[in-house]
Amino acid sequence: MFTGIITDMGEVLALTRAGDLRARIGTHYDAASIDIGASIACDGVCLTVVAKGQEPQDWFEVQVSAESVARTNIGSWKIGKRLNLERALKVGDELGGHIVSGHVDGLAEIVAMADEGDSTRFTFRAPRALAGYIACKGSIALNGTSLTVNEVKGTDFGVNIIPHTKSVTTWNSARAGDRVNLEIDTLARYVARLAEWKA
């Protein structure tokens, strides 16, 4: 489990395909403190650490299944791509965002961006199958970042990203047309399932 509060920006250092996709990610985390088998959210995707090292910088490697590549934007990763990183939540940690599983539901597209004061208003387009789970003033995880939905109109929804968030995440380099990993709020998923079950 994660909170959607980004704690590092990593960088894709290497990509190899041998059955599954394997990615080496440079990090500011102390690699010595990362356990093999640990979960790290990489742009919102919960991935398992399979190797780690500290030369020439701290890094860890993850193995990515074909299912994860198909459901997320991992298939477009390139060497040098910056990633939002978050280590798994520990008992007693502050829950500053919302409960995020790291299980991406689909891809949203940035369709518009506009500055509003020092913040930036982003408009996203969600897949129709997921749009019904997105509610005004509800929580959503986009590329692993816990954000509040400002408005919803059909399959489009808007969020504001404040300067602090832009400075500590990859949102400062986002562009219209980018496809981002979208995870709907867990509570919305279960409420919808309960309503479907009772119907």
From first to last of the 199 residues of the chain, give the pLDDT tens digit.
Answer: 999 999 999 999 999 997 899 999 999 999 999 999 999 999 999 999 999 999 999 999 999 999 999 999 999 999 999 999 999 988 778 778 888 999 999 999 999 999 999 999 999 999 999 999 999 999 999 999 999 999 999 999 999 999 999 999 999 999 999 999 999 998 887 787 788 787 6
189 and 128 inside one domain: yes
Beta bridge partners of 112: 123
52 falls within a domain: yes
DSSP count for the chain of H helices, then E strands = 4, 13
75 and 115 inside one domain: no
pLDDT score at 198: 78
End position of a domain, from candidates 29, 56, 87: 87
- Write the CATH number for 22: 2.40.30.20
CB 49 within 8 A of CB 56: no
152 falls within a domain: yes
101 falls within a domain: no
CB 183 within 8 A of CB 101: yes
83 and 120 inside one domain: no
pLDDT score at 97: 84
Question: φ and ψ at 27, to 5 degrees?
Answer: -145, 160
What is the torsion angle, in degrees rounded to the nearest 10, for the CA atoms of residue 14, residue 19, residue 21 and residue 25? -50
194 and 110 inside one domain: yes
End position of a domain, from candidates 57, 87, 117: 87
pLDDT score at 92: 77
pLDDT score at 175: 97
The DSSP bridge pattern shows strands 156-161 and 119-125 to be antiparallel
Segments forming the whole domain that contains residue 20: 8-87
pLDDT score at 102: 95
pLDDT score at 16: 96
